[in-house]
């Protein structure tokens, strides 16, 4: 089967037709060849509606980040079709990946410059984005002068500067302490509610997935297949330590353990 990646960027393709923002149809990804091949994903089909917040979880090596890279267009599927109906897609990594010689403002401004935003408009836009992530007093600080949480907020502001309507997030809070992560959950949820972004969020943390997502999609160990999807019915805002979040997270964790036991250690 011939692989296909489609990005539909016309307004008519993304507004008003009811089609999902992200569609994966029988997507497989194989790295290497013949006896040295690694099957990362196997016939994954998934739709993400516009404005939805979907979390991907699974054991290490199950293909979560590979799937995200395919949606971002950074890699091509071996077979199947990936369709992204968006004006623009932005990807946020676990590390902030800020330019160390630029200030927080400078990192955001660079994204605007690369988008050909006129110089006269960039200053106000940078200030708006810093306010949006509660860093308006830290725009003149370089990355080494910011905490880990502040660096991730800056990275989020830079992603939003790209005017994306699909935001892909690859364990963006994985390296942060629990309190900082919890605060950023609140801020991300508020931003998502305010902007109407479509979010596809990869995490190892099951409670984080239930805390944030409309749906949680569990992948099997390698090769990654969709084992089960879990709708999250509890209202917002949610607390990561709430009984509803804990109960669903426990159910998903039990299923995740079954997958790990069934397939063995995916890192072996």
Rg (CA), the chain: 19
Question: With 80 as the cut, is the pLDDT of residue 131 above it?
Answer: yes
- pLDDT for position 48: 96
Question: With 60 as the cut, is the pLDDT of residue 181 above it?
Answer: yes
Q: At what angle do helices 178-195 and 148-161 cross, to 10 degrees?
A: 20
Measured CA distances, 7 to 21, 67, 150, 226, 239 (Å): 10, 15, 32, 23, 35
Fill in the DSSP letter of residue 134: T
Q: What is the mean pLDDT of residues 31-47?
A: 86
Question: With 50 as the cut, is the pLDDT of residue 66 above it?
Answer: yes
Q: What is the mean pLDDT of residues 235-260?
A: 89
Nearest to 164 by CA among 109, 88, 108: 88
pTM of the model: 0.85
- pLDDT for position 49: 94
- pLDDT for position 183: 86
Q: What is the mean pLDDT of residues 104-111?
A: 93
Residue 165 near residue 87, CB atoms below 8 Å: yes
- pLDDT for position 8: 47
Q: How many helices (H) and strands (E) does the chain have?
A: 8, 10
More confidently predicted of 106 and 13: 106
Angstrom distance (rounded) from CA 231 to CA 210: 9
Angstrom distance (rounded) from CA 22 to CA 164: 13
- pLDDT for position 19: 83
- pLDDT for position 2: 35
């Amino acid at each position: 089967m011939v692989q296909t990646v489609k990005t539909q960027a016309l307004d008519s393709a993304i507004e008003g037709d009811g089609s999902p923002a992200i569609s994966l149809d029988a997507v497989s990804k194989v790295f290497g060849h013949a006896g040295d091949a690694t099957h990362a994903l196997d016939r994954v089909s998934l739709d993400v509606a516009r404005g939805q917040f979907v979390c991907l979880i699974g054991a290490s090596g199950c293909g979560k980040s590979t799937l995200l890279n395919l949606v971002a267009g950074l890699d091509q599927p071996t077979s199947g079709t990936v369709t992204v109906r968006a004006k623009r897609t932005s990807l946020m990594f676990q590390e902030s990946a800020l330019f160390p010689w630029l200030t927080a403002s400078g990192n955001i401004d660079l994204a605007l410059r690369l988008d050909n935003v006129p110089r006269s408009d960039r200053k106000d836009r940078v200030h708006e984005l810093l306010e949006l992530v509660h860093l308006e007093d830290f725009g003149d600080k370089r990355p080494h002068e910011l905490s880990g949480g502040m660096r991730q907020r800056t990275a989020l502001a830079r992603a939003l500067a790209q005017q994306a309507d699909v935001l892909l997030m690859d364990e963006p809070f994985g390296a942060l302490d629990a309190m900082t992560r919890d605060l950023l959950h609140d801020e991300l949820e508020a931003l998502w509610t305010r902007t109407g972004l479509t979010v596809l969020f990869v995490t190892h943390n099951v409670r984080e997935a239930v805390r944030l997502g409309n749906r949680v999609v569990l992948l099997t160990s390698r090769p990654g297949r969709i084992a089960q999807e879990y709708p999250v019915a509890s209202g917002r805002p949610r607390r990561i330590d709430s009984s509803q979040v804990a109960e669903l997270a426990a159910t998903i964790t039990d299923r995740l353990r079954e997958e790990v036991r069934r397939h063995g250690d995916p890192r072996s």
